[in-house]
Chains A and B, each alone.
Chain A
Amino acid sequence: MSEKKKKVGVFTFTCDEGCSIYMIEIFNKKLIEWLEKMDLEYFLSMKDRRDATEFDIAIVEGAITTERDLHEIKKVREMSKILIGMGNCTITGMPTCQRNNFTPEQTEAIKDDLEKFDFLEKCLPVKEVVHMDDEVPGCPMDEKKFIEVLEKYL
C-alpha cells in the first residue's frame, strides 16, 4: 500500500530563525529518511517555489509582532491540517516578545519604529493567536522532542 507523502511547510515569523537552523541540523541525520514520507512544499531557506496552498503539516517558528505577522499566521493556520510550534517563541513568546516587558523609557525609545512598521501593541506567542496542535519547547527547541512530535504526524 502506498501512502501519500505529507505536504509540509516551514514558516518563519518574527525571531532569530534559531529553531529552523536547529531543525536543519537535525536534518543532517533525519532528512533522507523523512523525505520518504514528506515533501517540503514551502521552506524559503531551501526553495523559492511558493505556490502550495494546502499543507498536511505546518511547522512554524517565531512570535507574532506586527499586523503582517498576524495576517500571515492566520492564513497558515487556514491552509494547514496540523500546526506544530517550534521553540519558546511560539509558546511563551520569549525571547522575541521581550519588548512587552520594557520600562516606559525603553518603550518610548522604540516608539517611532513600532509605529512606522505596524507593530502590534503587544507581541504575542503563536499559541495565543491560533490553535497549535503540538509544540516543542526550548530555545532552541529540544531535538529529541522535535523528532518525536514530527514523526507522530508523518
Chain B
Amino acid sequence: MHTCDLDISINRLSKIEGHADLDIKIKNGKVEHVELHVMENQRFYTQAVKGKPALAVPQIVSRICGTCSVAHLTGCIEAVEKTLDITPSEQTMVMRKLMMHSLMIRDHALHLYFFVAPDLFGIDSILDIDEDKKEIIHQALHVKEAGNNLSNLIGGRSVHAMFEQVGGFTRVIDNAKIPEVVEELKSIRPLIVDLAELFYNCDWEMKRKTRFVALKTEDFSYLEGYIATSEGEKIEEKDYWNHLHSVVLPYSQAKGFEFEGEEYMVGSLSRLNLNKEAMHENTKKDMKKYLDVFPSENIYHNNLAQAVEIMHSIDHSIELLENREFVKEEIVKPTKMSGEGVGVIEAPRGTLYYYLGVEDGKVKYANLVIPTAQNLINMREDVRKVVTDICGDNVAPTKEWEAKIKLEVEKMIRAYDPCMSCASHFLKINWK
C-alpha cells in the first residue's frame, strides 16, 4: 500500500519577505498538522513606541518593515491625525496617494518579477533565466525604477521616506521634475500588459471558499473608505478591531487573526474582488481582459491582481501629477494633545490597522494589525488543502511526493506575498 506518510520541514522559505519555516505532518494520507513558523525575531515596536512623542511615532514604525515602510508611515500618520484632530490638506492627500501608488508599483513588481516569475519559468532565480528571455530582467528593473523615482519625487526616498509627516509634507514636489516622472510611468505601461498576460496564461489553480476583506476606496487609492467583505459586511475603520480576534500560533513569533471567528484573506485579490469598479478608466480599458477574471476564488489570481494594480497605480499617478501645480504648504498642527484614534489603509499585502492612545502628546498605547498576520490562518488552511489534494489522488514513492508537496506549497505561499518582518509585530494583550 502506498499511503502518504511524511514529515516535511522547509527551513527558511525563500523568495518571500522575511524568515519563516514550515512543518507538515502527514499520516496515512491525512494531513495531521501544518505549522507555519514565523521565525522573524521580534523587534518590539509596539512596546518601543510607548512614551514616545506621537508626532515622531510614524517615522519610528516605518522601520517595522523596509518593504512596505510607506504603508506603515501612512497608516500610522492617519491614526495620529485622527487622534489629535488634524485635517490634512487636499494636496497632502494627493501626495499620500502618490506615495502609496509608488509603493504598489515597486513592491508588486518585486514580488511578481523576482519572487514569482522564477516559478513560472521553472528556475530558481530570475537571474538564471535563458539568454533569449533575459529581457524580462531589464523590464523588471525598469518598472521598479519608475516606481522608485516616483517615491523619490514625493517622499525623498523609497524606503523610510523622510518628507512624509503628520500634518503634511516637509518638502513640496519639484514641479519641474514631474514631466520626466510621468514619461517614465507611461513608458512602463506596455510592460505591465506583458506582465499581466504572463499571469493570465498561467494555469495554476487553488480554490477554497473563504472571506475576502478590504478597504473599499472610491478612487482605489488605498486610503480612506470603509471595510467591505465578500459576505456583504460594511464596517467603519474605527470598528474594524471589534470584528477580529487574534489566535496564538504555537512556536511562531507571530499571531494569526480571525474575522468573526473564521479565516479570511486580505490583499490584492480581495481588493479586486470587492472594488474593481473603482479602478482608473484607462486601466479598465486596457486591462479589461484581465479585470474580467475577478471576482475569483483562485489564490493564484492574487498575482494577476497585483499586475492589474500596478497598472492602476501608474494611471492614477499620471492623472494626479498632470493635473495640478504643487505649492508650498504649512504643516497642519494638532488641535489637541490627548485622545484615541484609528488609521486604516490598504498596504500592498492588505488591510493595515493602527490604533493609538495618546496622553499629553505621548503615546500611551498602540495596537496594530498586520496584513500577513491576517492571512496566516487562511494560508495554513490552503496549505492543508494543497497537501490533501496531492496525497488524495496520487500513488507515488515518498521522494516524489515530498518534492511535489514542497514545490506546490512554496508556490502557493508565495502567491500570498507574505511579509514576515511585519507579521512578527503584534499586541501584547496584558496592557493597561
Contact = CB atoms under 8 A, between A and B. Distances in A.
Interface of A: 12, 14-22, 24-25, 27-29, 31-32, 35, 40, 44-50, 65-66, 69, 95-96, 98-99, 102-103, 106, 109-110, 113, 117, 119, 139-140
Contacts of A44: 12, 14-15
Contact of B159 (A28, A29, A45, A140): A140
B125 A25 contact: no
B97 interface: no
Interface stretch (B38-46, B166-174, B338-346): B38-46
A95 B60 contact: yes
B14 A95 contact: no
Contacts of A45: 14-15, 17, 114-115
Interface stretch (B137-145, B200-208, B356-364, B395-403): B137-145
Contacts of A106: 44, 47-48, 50
Interface of B: 12, 14-15, 17-19, 40-45, 47-48, 50-51, 60, 63-67, 69, 106, 110, 114-115, 118, 124-128, 137-138, 141-142, 144-145, 148, 157-160, 253, 421, 428, 430-431
A48 B141 CA distance: 20
Top-4 shortest CB links A-B: A18-B66, A47-B125, A28-B145, A48-B14
Given A95-B60, A110-B47, A18 B141 contact: no
Given A31-B141, A47-B124, A48-B15, A21 B159 contact: yes
B313 to A, nearest CB: 17
A46 B114 contact: yes
Contact of A28 (B19, B50, B144): B144
Contacts of B17: 17, 45
Nearest to B115: A45
A32 B134 CA distance: 11
Nearest to B143: A28
B125 A109 contact: no
Contacts of A103: 51
Contacts of B44: 98-99, 102, 106, 110
Contacts of A14: 40-41, 43
B127 A66 contact: no
A25 B18 CA distance: 17
A140 B428 CA distance: 28
Contact of B41 (A48, A65, A109): A65
B160 A140 contact: yes
10 contacts: A16-B43, A21-B66, A22-B159, A28-B141, A44-B15, A47-B128, A49-B125, A95-B43, A109-B428, A113-B253
Given A17-B18, A44-B15, A113-B42, 19 more contacts: A16-B64, A18-B63, A22-B66, A32-B138, A35-B127, A44-B12, A45-B17, A45-B114, A47-B124, A48-B125, A65-B41, A95-B43, A98-B44, A98-B45, A99-B47, A102-B47, A106-B47, A109-B428, A140-B159
Given A47-B124, A102-B47, A106-B47, A117 B66 contact: no
B47 A109 contact: yes
A107 B205 CA distance: 46
A102 B48 CA distance: 7
A38 B404 CA distance: 33
A46 B66 contact: no
Contacts of A18: 63, 65-67, 69, 159-160
Contacts of B142: 28
A139 to B, nearest CB: 6
Nearest to A13: B41
A44 B21 CA distance: 13
Contacts of A40: 125, 127
A29 B18 CA distance: 24
A16 B47 contact: no
B127 A47 contact: yes
Contact of B66 (A66, A98, A110, A140): A140
A119 B12 CA distance: 19
Nearest to B152: A25
A24 B110 CA distance: 9
A109 B365 CA distance: 13
B141 A32 contact: yes
B124 A16 contact: no
B145 A29 contact: yes
Contacts of B159: 18, 21-22, 25, 140
A47 B118 CA distance: 9
A23 to B, nearest CB: 10
A47 B15 contact: yes
Given A25-B158, A28-B144, A119 B47 contact: no
Nearest to B138: A32
Contact of A119 (B41, B65, B106): B41
Given A18-B63, A19-B66, A95-B60, A46 B126 contact: yes
A12 B65 CA distance: 13
Nearest to B11: A50
